[in-house]
Chains A and B, each alone.
Chain A
């Protein structure tokens, strides 16, 4: 019974890592280390994008298998960092299950930045990259306004659980239409820089990087699947902005 609870706890940590956006390599490595710390003689774990399968062999010769199917992901690096620290503590001190459960609950409740800060981050990214790609102060301002629009759409899209690929296309199209409308009003600005600033908001940077790291680490299945999704998202951005280019 106790072993079953430990296995469930290991999966809880793995699941929390996966939903927060950690790489497969890290998830499997963490689960194996914890399993070994708790004295299982063999730990077999397989993680593929949205599912974890875990089998452990106890010193008494029994084996236990549990699986998890993960549906929701919400990138949260603070959570990954804390989970990483927790698993270090577990491996070093082998604490009681209650301790692990308590800390896991605390980590699950790690708060995200407030909406105001997120809005500010969107403005920071869009405006700074507009300037980075050759825009001036006016372009940066327009880019900032457009990024607020993108943020609002992202929030709505997330709330109604819109397909992320389609969501990217919609956001790009909306930003494109906004810029197009302004230019039809006769305002003079550098369209390219503004749009590129907004492109940068939507680039699936984390997915591309973690897919690459998964592939290097030998997790080809997850790596390729995530890579395909990330590339589709990038294509969706381009398709979304096609609205602006066709209209203009």
Chain B
């Protein structure tokens, strides 16, 4: 439990740091902190239940993207401003490093494991973002479509 809180705190600090790199200011920083905390919480909970890094990353990415889309619409700000810092703690930096390490050590088996994990986690992040963005577009487009139908009837 305590370890989980520490992990979440670290993820939030990391996300805020990244937001500062991109010159994000004001209220958006608070939203990013909240989003990052929630996304990391989901990641850790799923990790605890399944012990599967890829599934957990996918869950985290889905939550991150959903939060970013919702908050961006509320704040009338571009999604990407919130999305990138929120999703950063899920990035497989660890597996990138370990695959390099095992590659140089000539440990083919470990390299293959880490490298595959890195690719799968990257794909999970991408997949999560794509899915959420697809759903959002679907909602927006069908909204517009129904509005037009109603307009035509009148």
Contact = CB atoms under 8 A, between A and B. Distances in A.
Contacts of B88: 200, 203, 205
Interface in B11-47: 11, 13-14, 16-25, 28
A213 interface: yes
Contacts of B97: 192, 195-196, 199, 238, 241
Contacts of A78: 23-25
Given A81-B81, A245-B105, A124 B14 contact: yes
B91 interface: yes
A121 B126 CA distance: 26
Contacts of A76: 22-23
B93 A200 contact: yes
Contacts of A238: 96-97, 99-100
Contacts, number: 138
B17 A242 contact: no
A121 B78 contact: no
Interface stretch (A7-15, A31-39, A93-101, A110-118): A110-118
Given A124-B14, A205-B84, A85 B104 contact: no
A117 B80 contact: no
Please classify the interface of chain A as helix (H, G, I), strand (E, B), loop, or mixed, using the class held by over half of its residues.
helix
B55 interface: no
A203 B85 CA distance: 12
A212 interface: yes
A129 B11 CA distance: 7
A196 B22 contact: no
B23 A75 contact: yes
Nearest to A246: B104
Interface string A162-203: 000000000000000000000000000000100110011001
A132 B14 CA distance: 9
B91 A200 contact: yes
B80 A203 contact: no
Which size class do A's interface residues fall under? 35 or more
A129 B129 CA distance: 22
Given A80-B81, A129-B93, A205 B133 contact: no
B23 A84 contact: no
Contacts of B126: 212
9 contacts: A75-B22, A77-B22, A77-B78, A127-B13, A129-B93, A132-B14, A200-B14, A205-B84, A213-B133
Interface of B: 6-7, 9-11, 13-14, 16-25, 28, 76-81, 83-85, 87-89, 91, 93-94, 96-101, 104-105, 126, 129-130, 133-134
Ranked nearest first, the 8 interchain pairs of A and B with the lowest CB-CB distance are A124-B17, A125-B17, A121-B20, A128-B13, A128-B10, A132-B10, A238-B100, A128-B14
Given A77-B78, A238-B99, 19 more contacts: A77-B19, A78-B25, A84-B77, A117-B20, A118-B20, A118-B21, A121-B16, A124-B14, A125-B14, A128-B14, A132-B14, A200-B88, A200-B93, A203-B93, A205-B88, A206-B84, A213-B79, A238-B97, A246-B104
